[in-house]
């Protein structure tokens, strides 16, 4: 019933999206990163409690290329990036597509602080301008970006603490309702040092093991990227996967096979940091689009 | 029984024995956190609004509404008159209860009138209706940008954005769920 106009009216957005992708690829080339492609259909996704993979003929569509990319790191590839499709079951809204485009990059012998700096450079390059306006809010990209810990964000924007919110089961609601709308306003925000229980594949902080070396980037209240200093201890990783798998079972979710090849590769993996950035959302912010639907060629509903 | 995953704009659910329609819906999920379903809804009788956030796994009762197929006859003051084609019974519905449906009413349109405990509280129009454009500015020749649009008024007085090639007098199809232009009717 629907004609081709909804597709045609996005032509400018898609042209700008293409230009942003081109700038991103050039950025990584200049920094000596190799562009890689790993399979979309995998036998064993990382068992994360809140991320559901879509089954595909006995295997699964990837929710992220993380496990395969870390196996490449372990095999000696020091700097790799990938732009690919990922699928997350049941995630659909004005900022979510069940099938979306992810940019992930991994860097050996680096930690999450190095990636914060690199992420700043990447976003500036992708934007190509010093200041953007998203939904009426100005965001200055050229000057220093805000960096705030999760603990401080709870103290500043809620009337409880991150620890109390976690034990009361209100951490996610407060994050969405109170904290996220305050992040990335006026300038981009890195919110970092997440509670250890929210970071299944991240390394804990040496001087404070109650938090993990994980950060998220926000622009205009919108979550754009998630990064860690990677956990490279296979024993610890297996224990965390078991805990996440138990959590999935408690909620009656799919169980996945244990990703044994990934766990075996972790023993060979150098210290590294990695980041996953939602490209559709980055394009949304750079184009000041109201919905993620406005920056993709097709939504699922249009097929 | 609905679950949180069924929530969407336009869904009608029962809360405290009253029918509500979801007017805004969005999905939120902070990184690595749980899915949250944020809704705004309107009481279909009183018009009062509620904001609620749900988690996955929560369940909802559908709103127990009866719907009867009726035909639109005419508008009188701030009431709209409909007739049941099988019993010839006529009912009036207030403009407030009509909501967006009034943008699409043309003579003899078949609609679903919603009844809650025998009282008419609103109407559902077909997902797609054809309406004639009565006013729109002509297209400036040489403007070939595919992503442009312009306002147009249709015969019901409703104003929406249409592609630049649409001319006055043309029949267009509108998606009543979104209120947006869908296609040009080939005449």
pLDDT tens-place string over residues A165-176: 999 999 999 999
How high is the pLDDT of residue B145?
A: 55
A177/B53 Cβ within 8 A: yes
**CB atoms near residue B177 (< 10 Å):** 12
Mean pLDDT within A176-188 = 97
How high is the pLDDT of residue A49?
A: 93
| Paired residues of A205 in beta bridges | A208
A94/B36 Cβ within 8 A: no
B183/A3 Cβ within 8 A: yes
B31/A90 Cβ within 8 A: no
Quick: pLDDT tens for A269-282. Answer: 999 999 999 999 99
How high is the pLDDT of residue B187?
A: 65
**CB atoms near residue B135 (< 10 Å):** 12
Picking from B25, B146, B184, the nearest residue to A8 by CB comes out as B146
Distance from the A3 Cα atom to the nearest Cα atom in chain B, whole angstroms:
5
Lowest-confidence segment of A71-75, A242-246, B73-77, B156-160 by average pLDDT: B73-77
CATH code assigned at A265: 3.30.930.10
Give chain A positions within 8 Å (CB) of B33.
50, 171-172, 175-176, 198
Q: Which of B116, B102, B117, B114 is nearest to B157 (CA)?
A: B102
How many separate domains does chain A show?
Answer: 1
| Paired residues of A190 in beta bridges | A147, A217
Distance from the A295 Cα atom to the nearest Cα atom in chain B, whole angstroms:
13
Q: Which residue has the tokens 């250890």?
A: A196
How high is the pLDDT of residue A9?
A: 85
Residues of chain B with pLDDT under 50: none
Provide the domain limits for residue A256.
Answer: 2-302
- With b for 16 or more beta-carbon neighbours within 10 A and e for fewer, the B155-176 pattern comes to ebebebebbbebeeeeebbbbb
Q: Which of A35, A34, A128, A41 is nearest to A83 (CA)?
A: A35
**Which site among B7, B26, B30, B57 would you substitute to test the A interface, given the most A Cβ atoms closer than 10 Å to its Cβ?**
B30
pLDDT band at A1 (very low <50, low <70, confident <90, very high): very low
The 3-state DSSP composition of chain B as helix, strand, coil percent (nearest 5) reads 5, 55, 40
- Which residues fall within 8 angstroms of residue B22, CB to CB, at 6 or more apart? B7, B8, B9, B10, B11, B12, B13, B39, B40, B41
How high is the pLDDT of residue B44?
A: 87
Quick: pLDDT tens for A188-219. Answer: 999 999 999 999 999 999 999 999 999 999 99
Q: Is A70 on the interface with B (CB under 8 A)?
A: no
CA dihedral A277, A279, A282, A286 (to 10 degrees): 150
Give chain A positions within 8 Å (CB) of B32.
48, 50-51, 198-200, 226
Q: Is A291 on the interface with B (CB under 8 A)?
A: no
Give chain B positions within 8 Å (CB) of A63.
none
- Mean pLDDT, rounded, of chain A: 96
Residue of chain A with shortest Cα separation from B53: A173
B35/A9 Cβ within 8 A: no
Residue of chain A with shortest Cα separation from B128: A1
B182/A91 Cβ within 8 A: no
B27/B19 Cα distance (integer angstroms): 22
Please say whether the dihedral angle defined by the alpha carbons of residues B138, B142, B145 and B146, taken in this order, is positive or negative. Answer: positive
**Which site among B6, B32, B143, B172 would you substitute to test the A interface, given the most A Cβ atoms closer than 10 Å to its Cβ?**
B32
How high is the pLDDT of residue B141?
A: 64
pLDDT for A286 beyond 90: yes
Q: H or E element: which one contains A144?
A: none
pLDDT for A261 beyond 80: yes
Q: Is A192 on the interface with B (CB under 8 A)?
A: no
pLDDT for A60 beyond 90: yes
Distance from the B90 Cα atom to the nearest Cα atom in chain A, whole angstroms:
33
């Amino acid at each position: 019933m629907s004609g081709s106009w909804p597709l045609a009216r996005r032509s400018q957005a898609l042209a700008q999206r293409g230009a942003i992708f081109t700038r991103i690829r050039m950025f990584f080339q200049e920094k000596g990163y190799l562009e890689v492609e790993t399979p979309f259909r995998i036998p064993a996704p990382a068992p994360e409690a809140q991320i559901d993979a879509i089954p595909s003929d006995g295997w699964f569509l990837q929710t992220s290329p993380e496990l395969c990319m870390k196996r490449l790191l372990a095999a000696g590839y020091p700097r790799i990036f990938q732009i690919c499709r990922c699928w997350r079951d049941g995630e659909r809204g004005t900022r979510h597509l069940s099938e979306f485009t992810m940019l992930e990059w991994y860097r050996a012998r680096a930690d999450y602080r190095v990636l914060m700096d690199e992420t700043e450079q990447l976003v500036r390059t992708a934007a190509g301008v010093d200041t953007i306006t998203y939904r009426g809010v100005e965001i200055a990209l050229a000057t220093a970006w805000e960096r705030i810990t999760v603990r401080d964000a709870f103290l500043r924007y809620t009337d409880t603490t991150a620890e109390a919110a976690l034990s009361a089961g209100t951490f996610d609601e407060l994050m969405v309702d109170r904290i996220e709308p305050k992040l990335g306003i006026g300038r981009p925000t890195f919110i970092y040092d997440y509670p250890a229980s929210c970071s299944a594949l991240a390394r804990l902080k040496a001087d404070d093991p109650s938090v993990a070396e994980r950060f998220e980037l926000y622009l205009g209240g919108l979550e754009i990227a998630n990064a860690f200093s990677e956990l490279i201890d296979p024993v610890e990783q297996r224990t965390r996967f078991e805990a996440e798998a138990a959590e999935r079972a408690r909620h009656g979710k799919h169980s996945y096979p244990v990703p044994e090849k990934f766990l075996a590769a972790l023993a060979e993996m150098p210290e590294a940091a990695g980041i996953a950035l939602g490209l559709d959302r980055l394009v949304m912010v750079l184009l000041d689009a109201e919905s993620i639907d406005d920056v993709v060629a097709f939504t699922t509903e249009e097929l | 029984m609905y679950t949180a995953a069924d929530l969407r704009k336009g869904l009608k659910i029962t809360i405290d024995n009253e029918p509500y329609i979801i007017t805004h819906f969005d999905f939120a999920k902070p990184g690595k956190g749980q899915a949250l379903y944020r809704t705004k809804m309107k009481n279909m009788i009183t018009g009062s609004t509620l904001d609620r956030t749900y988690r996955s796994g929560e369940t909802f009762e559908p709103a127990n509404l009866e719907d009867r197929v009726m035909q639109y006859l005419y508008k009188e003051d701030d009431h709209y008159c409909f007739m049941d084609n099988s019993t010839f019974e006529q009912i009036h519905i207030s403009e407030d209860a009509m909501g967006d449906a009034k943008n699409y009413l043309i003579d003899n349109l078949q609609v679903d009138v919603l009844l809650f405990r025998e009282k008419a509280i609103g109407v559902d129009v077909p997902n797609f209706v054809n309406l004639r454009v009565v006013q729109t500015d002509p297209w400036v020749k040489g403007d070939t940008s595919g992503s442009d649009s312009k306002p147009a008024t249709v015969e019901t007085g409703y104003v929406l954005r249409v592609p630049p090639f649409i001319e006055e007098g043309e029949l267009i199809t509108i998606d009543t769920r979104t209120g947006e232009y869908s296609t040009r009717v080939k005449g």
